Structure 1
Amino acid sequence: MTNRVWPRNRSKWLIVLLVVQVLFLAAIAGIHYSTLWFGKEIRLQTVPVDPRDLLYGDYVQLNYDINRVPLSLRQETGDKPKSGDRIYVVLQENQSDGIYRAKAVASRKPSLSVGQIMLKGRVEYADDDAIRISYGIERYYVKENTGKELEKQAGNLVVKVKTSAWGSPVIEDITAGSKSEQ
């Protein structure tokens, strides 16, 4: 009798394991897409560099103003953040051009005022003047043979980014010019 029960229980556990794996993968994709569907759109000024990768095709390496944040914007006192530390950057829209700029930096999730949003990043390094931060949106893949064209427009590019309530950013688009020009 035990021989008949074991195969039936084994298949149930196999189905449960398969369902858990599928749900896990769906949750990972859902987090990314929820940012695109429900996130707040912000605009960041950037300068592209290095537009080609032999394995992956054309991409634009992006460097934002908010990648280098002055130490004077830190909300905490004490030691500078170390490489690899999680950090939160509070951004606020500049009303004249619609570009979001850094207003504060914190090692813990900060409280936000009206009109502010938060991006979560990782510290690359901190020197005596500023903190270099990576947000995971510094590389944007483009259609083949279009990376050089974006490079020519360096200094006049605006990146449209969607950001979730928990500070996770996703690039939506790269356009030329500022908000007031479009």
Structure 2
Amino acid sequence: MTRARWLIVVVALQAGYLLAWAGYHEWARATGLVVRLETAPVDPQDLMRGDYLVLRYKISDVAVPWSEPEEGARAGRDIWVTLKPKEGFYVVDRASWTAPTSATAGIVVHGHVRGPAVKREMRVDYGIEKYFVPEGKGTPRFKTMVVEAVVDADGGMAIKRVLVDGKSYP
């Protein structure tokens, strides 16, 4: 095979991979279960990366599962959190160090422990803690902020929509 054909094959494989990856994430956002999360912004802007919000959720504070001592809650450890609806939002029902196998477990999301546990409670990141806003929009002024997140089949989460004072932002 000539060099030109190899180059075409390599470029086509790379393009195919990128399109499949983007398609998977778009499919997950379109078909995944939507959960509403109470949200509070933490840090509004970074000069190097542009305008974005660092978001913190009520589901970010999780009690250490009783199946293991508090010392087991080390940074980076995988955790599965089961959510339940309560007053229009989803809240933490329980947490586990292993993925639930029961189909009746409810809505299970996958996260990572952010740091050591304090008083049997730990901070969990779900991969939806940063939200980039369009250039020039800046930090919105608001009284309430709510995030609608999509949960895919593997328990991963992605931000679908941000609501500022009940209206879609931006």
Please confirm whether the aligned pair reaches a TM-score higher than 0.5, indicating the same fold.
yes
- The 2-side partners of 1:146 and 1:82 are apart by 35
Report whether the alignment pairs 1:139 with 2:130.
yes
- The 1-side partners of 2:49 and 2:40 are apart by 21
Deviation per CA, 1:27-86, whole angstroms, max 9, x where unpaired? 221232122111111000011122122133322211111111012xx2633552321112
- Cα pair 1:45 1:158 within 8 Å, conserved: yes
- The 1-side partners of 2:105 and 2:123 are apart by 24
Counterpart for residue 141 of structure 2: 149
Greater radius of gyration (CA): 1
Counterpart for residue 118 of structure 1: 108
**Aligned counterpart in structure 2 of residue 23 of structure 1, from 16, 26, 31:** 16
- Cα pair 1:35 1:169 within 8 Å, conserved: no
- Cα pair 1:90 1:112 within 8 Å, conserved: no
Q: CA RMSD in A?
A: 2.4
Q: Which amino acid aligns with 1:164?
A: D
Deviation per CA, 1:72-102, whole angstroms, max 9, x where unpaired? xx263355232111221111111xx220011
**Aligned counterpart in structure 2 of residue 68 of structure 1, from 40, 46, 61:** 61
Report whether the alignment pairs 1:108 with 2:101.
no
C-alpha displacement at 1:20, in angstroms?
A: 2.1
Aligned length: 163
- The 1-side partners of 2:53 and 2:164 are apart by 14
Name whichever of 111-120 and 56-65 sits farther off.
111-120
Counterpart for residue 175 of structure 1: 163
What SS class does the counterpart of residue 9 from structure 2 fall into? helix
